[in-house]
Amino acid sequence: MRGADPEIVAWVSSHVVPFEADLRKKLRYICGAADEVDDLVQDIYYRFLKMQSVDHIDDPRNYVFQMARNLVVDRLRRKQVVNIEAVQSLDELVIFDGAPSPERVTMARAELKWVLGVIAKLPERCRDVFQMRKVYGLSQAETAQQLGLSENVVEKETMRGMHIISDTVARVSVSGDRDAPRRQTSGPRNPARLGR
């Protein structure tokens, strides 16, 4: 470890070493041979100690497991005979990062755009009150003061906005399809239709 940045060594000690046992366990499952696991772990530490900075690493555990996965893939590519079980086990080194999928992000953006459109269509005073209370997070008193209204009016306009938005959500899907009402989940089904 001669020549390694002491800050990097300290970072590795506190952010990587704590889950080395879990990493070794997963690598042992994939590789089988203890000496191969030792080589991979040593290679990971070596790569960290060569780094100029670790500031770009937000999730050390995920980073290390991805690094290990890449090293295993590289080793498998170099082998002339590949153990199919090792390839199938590579998913053991994938850590869920908690980030939403691209599809979920797209859907959330569409929902936000739709809701903002619904808010924009509220009557003017209702819209102003609703935005200050629910979008900007102002208190009832702050909203009343800013708009020159009584707190009672602010409360009523907030409730009015909530009712209008709730009714719109119940009638129209996020896609804006008025002809596709939401499916009701309550109420008895017609048993005669189930057989069709």
pLDDT tens per residue across span 127-175: 999 889 888 888 999 999 999 999 999 999 999 988 888 888 778 754 4
d(CA 175, CA 38): 54
85 with 14, same domain: the answer is: yes
34 with 77, same domain: the answer is: yes
d(CA 86, CA 82): 8
pLDDT at 2: 54
- The percent of residues above 90 in pLDDT, for the chain, comes to 16
17 with 70, same domain: the answer is: yes
Residue 36 banded pLDDT, cuts 50, 70, 90? confident
Instruction: Return the amino acid letter for 176.
Output: G
pLDDT at 93: 53
89 with 119, same domain: the answer is: no
Q: Which of 62, 93, 124 is at the close of a domain?
A: 93
Domain membership flag for residue 70: yes
83 with 106, same domain: the answer is: no
Domain membership flag for residue 127: yes
> How confident is the prediction for the chain on average, in pLDDT?
76
Q: Which of 93, 116, 151 is at the close of a domain?
A: 93
Helical ranges in the chain per DSSP H: 6-15, 20-31, 34-50, 60-78, 84-88, 102-120, 124-130, 140-147, 151-171, 191-194
Domain membership flag for residue 22: yes
Q: Is the model's pLDDT at 92 over the cut of 70?
A: no
131 with 165, same domain: the answer is: yes
Q: How far apart are the first and last CA of the chain?
A: 73
Domain membership flag for residue 64: yes
14 with 86, same domain: the answer is: yes
DSSP state of 135: I
Which range in 26-35, 82-91, 98-107, 186-195 is most confidently predicted, on average pLDDT? 26-35
CA atoms within 13 A on the CB side of 174: 10
Domain membership flag for residue 122: yes
- DSSP, residue by residue, 25-37: HHHHHHH--HHHH
10 with 88, same domain: the answer is: yes
72 with 18, same domain: the answer is: yes
Give whole-number Cα distances, 119 to 32, 56, 93, 133, 170, in Å. Answer: 59, 39, 45, 12, 15
Question: Which domain covers residue 47, as residue numbers?
Answer: 6-93
Decide if 127 contacts 161 (C-beta within 8 A): yes
pLDDT at 122: 92
Q: Which of 93, 115, 148 is at the close of a domain?
A: 93
* CATH code: domain of residue 154: 1.10.10.10
Domain membership flag for residue 182: no
pLDDT at 101: 65
**How many residues would you count in the chain?**
196
Q: How many structural domains compose the chain?
A: 2
Q: What is the pTM of this model?
A: 0.42
85 with 116, same domain: the answer is: no
77 with 132, same domain: the answer is: no
